[in-house]
Structure 1
């Protein structure tokens, strides 16, 4: 039994016996914040001063952080959340202690932040005397274990969740019963940019993946676009309404997980009453402490682990700012680094940062969130070496294994078009890209919203996508796989070198005017170009000249015909009047492809060539 006589239900909590001035207390987190318990403490705080309130994010008004309670409380936020906390930190009335979510429990257990009391919210005890920590186990579990006293708000509305979520009533020194709705997090409003980000991220999620999803509208958008996926799992520091909906539909079934198979694993839940009802007694959802769920080692035990997190800004090398806007401390580190690192260590894992490409400053001016240099005072939460993918509404930047030059070009490609030229000019000053890199990345709207398609030839999955400025090295590698005959047929003379500058010119295309597509597949985690098709637009007669080349080992499978059909489709949508090509007479396979796709031919300018032409409508579809 506890050392203090527990008050009967309805009796006042003897705060002056439990707490002293100068104590450090922990307040329950996220949707399990004991608001009524804190209100009772404030109402009965006579004689108490300078109590430090240590907390992570709380779904609350955080009235204890208001200026009028400055003599009673000082807040030490391990994660900044809510207007009251943010204002108190900005005004110097509260502190922010940056820390990984997985390491918060050790701050308590190692007495770095010793706790005199933990104020928590729990469900009523069962017949064996066990209460559930309900919708928030995360760091509450450690606070309960390490605090000198535990004071609870017993809430009949608190769901009883499974996992490591239980505390016996003998561990509680004092309590009050207060029935109150669990705080809800309203669904965020979506916009077109966020919807597009969700669609892009869903492309990166393979069937059978295990997901970590954070909070906010980007993450909600991702969940909306996973409805057609199969056999997904969840290992995440939090779950929201979207996870519950996907579990109900069978998309999330956890069958392919390699750690905690069959279970959705999380440390807290935050959403609507629907979510709280869903997790109540649900044997398929288990809550565990943050040190277990957010451990990078445990995260990596799930194969195909996909970690999806957001950011305030990202620089062109991949440095991620998540907890501050310049010198303004805004949120916290949370579980981002833990999950990004865990996903990177996972077999087939994908660490992803997703964010809108722009924001508005305090004057309403549009600013880029993809920046050449971080805003002065900004803190790097996730390093440039951690992130594999960055996603905006303009595409997916693949950074893994890329040089600073390559990732700079990838990042500019997913920036808002209004800022791409400016970003390119800035990084040329730093010599991150060479002086001959003059064309800013452009997009192919006609290829569809995600600018890529998948095809299967001979049981091999290929991706059709635009050639990009960061493909300079990939195109060089592709060139040097060609034999002499291929080079002769393609270039009409024996080319022996593809210089970096020449390769740059071939991948740096204004895709709004000309066109450059490629087919790629995977050699392990490495992307390999297997075919390239392009056309060059002539404004004089509204025509385009077509050319393509396929790796020798991949010919005869339909890649060339597919490339030609895709280019024809885009040309028609752009209202181009005709397509033409000049092909050597002895290049029988290529002549056959053009003829089979409706091109007619006549003698070319030389005896060695044929001129092939396909009339298009000349009008946009």
Structure 2
């Protein structure tokens, strides 16, 4: 049977496709734009659920309204709607390193059903996971059931995110625009941080950077750099400008020379059009892009991530804002550790020095009880605020404390110094 015949044989309505999900099995979906909304929404009216679990990650949609006895929803990295649902006890959160999610799911998921959005099938019978590879590409080969949502708005990308029609249980067609990232406006603080971080990046470096106003500001300062390579977990919007400026050649990318390598992408339609059938982009599963055993071959790896707050020891919280669980660890600790074992590597953590109109210092004597540590004191390297750069790696506790106070907001320096002396750190 040829690919077109197989396609027709496996094509279903969403109501029919969802019946392949049996009671008690676990459902796994991709991060962000790869989430199959039509299939997921159909779960709300599907009577066949009983004791199922849904593993989702950074959903862009409203959390499904389903009795948890029928479907328990577990987030692996929370977005806006998931934060609210978690605080209300409607969903749960699975602690993880992003690189470890495929292994966790293979060990714990029951007869996993993978559901994902894909680009239309090519002439050889292959679909592309498009903006995604993430944990789903690593799970498809062991999944008991594969349900795909074919969407012509999903760009066709290349790499290890291809799915052949013969490996698919059922297909549905749902052609609608895929989710786009909101624009991130750069503040004056972001621009200052961008300049400081860019000063740490050298020609020939390999860069891991994500989405947001601070990464955007950093990229704005890299257009005159040369021979940069991009190996990252997420391809952000601004990478297009860096690529077109000639700063990015990917000559030093050990995974795919001459190509951008990543595990997912999220941005505007312009980013998705840039990705579509772009041979200079290669998508890989997250247990390769982020895993320390794979990253050890990358020389001059510069990793850039964001934090919420950091204490005098150098412990960074990047997951909780006040009493609200905001996100999860993601790939931060994966890449932070990788920057240490990379020959010539640097790990950079960025944050504004204050929050809430300069009324709260984000450099603190100690993290509050119950606050998660996303990057440990042993893994921290560079910390950057709008007031400068503090190199913490190789520094003692007293040296770290002094360096952190130097890049704190001036309003809080006296208070922080007082607390440091009271703790015996100065």
For the aligned pair, the TM-score class normalised by the smaller chain equals over 0.9
Between the aligned partners of 1:157 and 1:269, the Cα distance in structure 2 is 14
The answer as to 2:62 corresponding to 1:56 is: no
Q: Report the CA distance between 1:16 and its aligned residue.
A: 6.2
Counterpart contact for 1:108–1:115, Cα < 8 Å: no
Alignment map for 1:510-521 (pairs within 5 Å): none
Cα distance per residue 1:4-56 (max 9 Å; x no partner) = 9975646454256412333311122221111122223334x134344311012
* Partner SS, residue 390 of structure 2: strand
Counterpart contact for 2:223–2:246, Cα < 8 Å: no
Counterpart contact for 2:18–2:43, Cα < 8 Å: no
Between the aligned partners of 1:200 and 1:265, the Cα distance in structure 2 is 25
Between the aligned partners of 1:273 and 1:420, the Cα distance in structure 2 is 44
Between the aligned partners of 1:28 and 1:69, the Cα distance in structure 2 is 22
* Partner SS, residue 146 of structure 2: strand
Task: Select between 4-13 and 114-123 the one with higher mean Cα deviation.
Answer: 4-13
Name the structure 2 match of 1:42. Answer: 44
Select which of 73, 76, 80 maps to 2:71: 73
Q: Report the CA distance between 1:287 and its aligned residue.
A: 0.4
Select which of 85, 90, 99 maps to 2:96: 99
RMSD: 2.1
Counterpart contact for 2:300–2:342, Cα < 8 Å: yes
Aligned length: 423
The answer as to 2:370 corresponding to 1:370 is: no
The answer as to 2:89 corresponding to 1:89 is: no
Q: Report the CA distance between 1:404 and its aligned residue.
A: 0.6
Q: Report the CA distance between 1:69 and its aligned residue.
A: 5.3
The answer as to 2:33 corresponding to 1:31 is: yes
Distance of aligned partners of 1:216 and 1:382 in 2 relative to their CA distance in 1, 3 Å threshold: same
Name the structure 1 match of 2:393. Answer: 400
Distance of aligned partners of 1:420 and 1:303 in 2 relative to their CA distance in 1, 3 Å threshold: same
Counterpart contact for 2:387–2:407, Cα < 8 Å: yes
The answer as to 2:277 corresponding to 1:281 is: yes
Between the aligned partners of 1:16 and 1:238, the Cα distance in structure 2 is 30
Counterpart contact for 2:30–2:136, Cα < 8 Å: yes
Name the structure 1 match of 2:191. Answer: 195
Cα distance per residue 1:144-196 (max 9 Å; x no partner) = 22221011101111111111110001111111111111211022121111111
Select which of 290, 299, 306 maps to 2:302: 306
Counterpart contact for 2:14–2:39, Cα < 8 Å: no
Name the structure 2 match of 1:237. Answer: 233
Distance of aligned partners of 1:430 and 1:265 in 2 relative to their CA distance in 1, 3 Å threshold: same
Between the aligned partners of 2:34 and 2:423, the Cα distance in structure 1 is 49
Q: Report the CA distance between 1:257 and its aligned residue.
A: 3.5
Counterpart contact for 1:13–1:174, Cα < 8 Å: no
Distance of aligned partners of 1:132 and 1:258 in 2 relative to their CA distance in 1, 3 Å threshold: closer
Between the aligned partners of 1:423 and 1:404, the Cα distance in structure 2 is 14
Cα distance per residue 1:475-512 (max 9 Å; x no partner) = xxxxxxxxxxxxxxxxxxxxxxxxxxxxxxxxxxxxxx
Q: Report the CA distance between 1:235 and its aligned residue.
A: 0.6
Counterpart contact for 2:102–2:139, Cα < 8 Å: yes
Q: Report the CA distance between 1:391 and its aligned residue.
A: 0.2
Cα distance per residue 1:371-409 (max 9 Å; x no partner) = 011122101111111111000001000112111111111
Between the aligned partners of 2:14 and 2:41, the Cα distance in structure 1 is 13
Q: Report the CA distance between 1:82 and its aligned residue.
A: 2.2
The answer as to 2:355 corresponding to 1:359 is: yes
Counterpart contact for 2:309–2:362, Cα < 8 Å: yes
* Larger CA Rg, structure 1 vs 2: 1
Distance of aligned partners of 1:246 and 1:188 in 2 relative to their CA distance in 1, 3 Å threshold: same
Between the aligned partners of 1:313 and 1:174, the Cα distance in structure 2 is 46
Q: Report the CA distance between 1:349 and its aligned residue.
A: 0.5
Name the structure 2 match of 1:497. Answer: none
Pick 1 or 2: higher relative contact order, CA cutoff 8 A, min separation 6: 2
* Partner SS, residue 241 of structure 1: coil
Select which of 265, 272, 283 maps to 1:269: 265
In the superposition, the TM-score normalised over structure 2's length comes to: 0.94
Between the aligned partners of 1:203 and 1:171, the Cα distance in structure 2 is 48
Name the structure 1 match of 2:119. Answer: 123
Between the aligned partners of 1:127 and 1:301, the Cα distance in structure 2 is 36
Cα distance per residue 1:256-305 (max 9 Å; x no partner) = 33443211110001111111111111111100000110012322312110
The answer as to 2:181 corresponding to 1:185 is: yes
In the superposition, the TM-score normalised over structure 1's length comes to: 0.65
The answer as to 2:23 corresponding to 1:21 is: yes
Counterpart contact for 2:256–2:282, Cα < 8 Å: no
Alignment map for 1:464-483 (pairs within 5 Å): none
Counterpart contact for 1:265–1:286, Cα < 8 Å: yes
Between the aligned partners of 1:81 and 1:108, the Cα distance in structure 2 is 20
Question: Tell me, which stretches of 5 or more residues in structure 2 are unaligned?
Answer: none
Between the aligned partners of 1:182 and 1:145, the Cα distance in structure 2 is 25
